[in-house]
């Protein structure tokens, strides 16, 4: 089950029951920005079709980080610009994302999802976001930025200044504590969240869960800092 949340005019979050995931879309006058592409190509195709119900503009993709559920759907979007941090591409191929999650899905009794993950093609980024990149979507500027070490060493957030919205990827999670894996940097993570909060957003869209306000992000920052997540 999937549904759209309209956060502001032309700014949307797509909620998915699987993994409680949230993908994003920002629409300008001449181009649309797709924020993460899903768990596999079938999921990506479903997301692409849902976007086409909202806009027929050409799209650009940004990948917030190299965990499978955020990038394995990219092939469904065709030959398009794909932005990510320079360390994102190597991280996509350094880990057996497909094998790891196929095994997990089979253990959970979800063989169809396992097969979909195994079939997914890895599409590497074509454009780098080393520090920040400004994109003109036509009448709307968005900024892709790397706020520092956090959930990974290559997280990218998306700031939509005119709507006061930040898409934070998995640097923020709602409905569950943030995932602090082997590739996370919990000592530096709070500082990255401070960078996002300094943008003074009204709404922050997490990689998993419902959109939240800055107070939620500040509380999650404090919990990470205290090591209590």
In this prediction, residue 56 carries a pLDDT of 98
**Contact by Cβ (8 Å): 116, 41:** yes
Return the half-sphere exposure (C-beta side, CA atoms, 13 A cut-off) of residue 116.
Answer: 20
116 vs 192: CA distance, rounded Å: 33
149 vs 111: CA distance, rounded Å: 35
155 vs 88: CA distance, rounded Å: 8
**Averaged over 104-127, what is the pLDDT?**
97
E strands along 104-198, which residues?
A: 127-128, 132-136, 141-145, 157-160, 165-173
Which residues sit opposite 14 in a β-bridge?
4, 23
For all residues of the chain together, what is the average pLDDT? 97
Identify the three-state secondary structure at position 47: helix
Confidence class for position 229, pLDDT limits 50, 70, 90: low
Question: Domains of the chain by range and CATH?
Answer: 2-226 (3.60.15.10)
Q: Is the pLDDT of residue 190 over 60?
A: yes
116 vs 40: CA distance, rounded Å: 6
């599409």: which residue's tokens? Answer: 123
In this prediction, residue 1 carries a pLDDT of 80
Which residues sit opposite 4 in a β-bridge?
14
Q: What is the pLDDT of residues 123-146, one digit of tens each?
A: 999 999 999 999 999 999 999 999
Q: What is the pLDDT of residues 78-89, one digit of tens each?
A: 999 999 999 999
Confidence class for position 34, pLDDT limits 50, 70, 90: very high
Q: Is the pLDDT of residue 228 over 80?
A: no
In this prediction, residue 227 carries a pLDDT of 86
Q: What's the whole-model pTM score?
A: 0.97
**Contact by Cβ (8 Å): 27, 14:** no
**Contact by Cβ (8 Å): 101, 115:** no
Kindly tell me the sign of the dihedral angle through the C-alpha atoms of 74, 78, 83, 88.
positive
CB-neighbour burial class of residue 5 (10 A; exposed 0-12, middle 13-18, buried 19+): middle
């Amino acid at each position: 089950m999937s549904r759209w949340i309209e956060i502001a005019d032309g700014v949307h979050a797509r909620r998915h029951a699987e993994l409680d995931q949230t993908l994003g879309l920002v629409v300008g006058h001449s181009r649309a920005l797709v924020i993460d592409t899903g768990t596999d190509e079938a999921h990506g195709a479903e997301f692409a079709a849902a976007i086409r119900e909202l806009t027929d503009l050409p799209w650009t993709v940004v990948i917030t980080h190299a965990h499978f559920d955020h990038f394995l759907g990219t092939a469904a979007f065709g030959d398009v610009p794909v932005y990510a941090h320079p360390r994102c591409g190597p991280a996509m191929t350094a880990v057996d994302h497909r094998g790891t999650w196929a095994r997990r899905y089979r253990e959970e009794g979800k063989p169809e999802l396992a097969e979909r993950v195994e079939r997914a093609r890895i599409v590497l980024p074509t454009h780098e976001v080393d520090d920040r990149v400004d994109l003109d979507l036509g009448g709307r500027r968005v900024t892709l930025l790397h706020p520092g070490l956090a959930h990974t060493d290559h997280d990218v957030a998306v700031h939509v200044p005119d709507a006061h919205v930040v898409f934070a990827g998995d640097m923020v999670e709602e409905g569950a504590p943030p995932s602090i894996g082997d590739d996370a940097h919990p000592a530096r993570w709070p500082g990255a969240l401070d960078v996002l909060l300094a943008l003074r957003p009204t709404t922050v869209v997490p990689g998993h869960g419902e959109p939240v306000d800055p107070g939620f992000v500040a509380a999650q920052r404090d919990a990470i800092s205290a090591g209590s997540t």
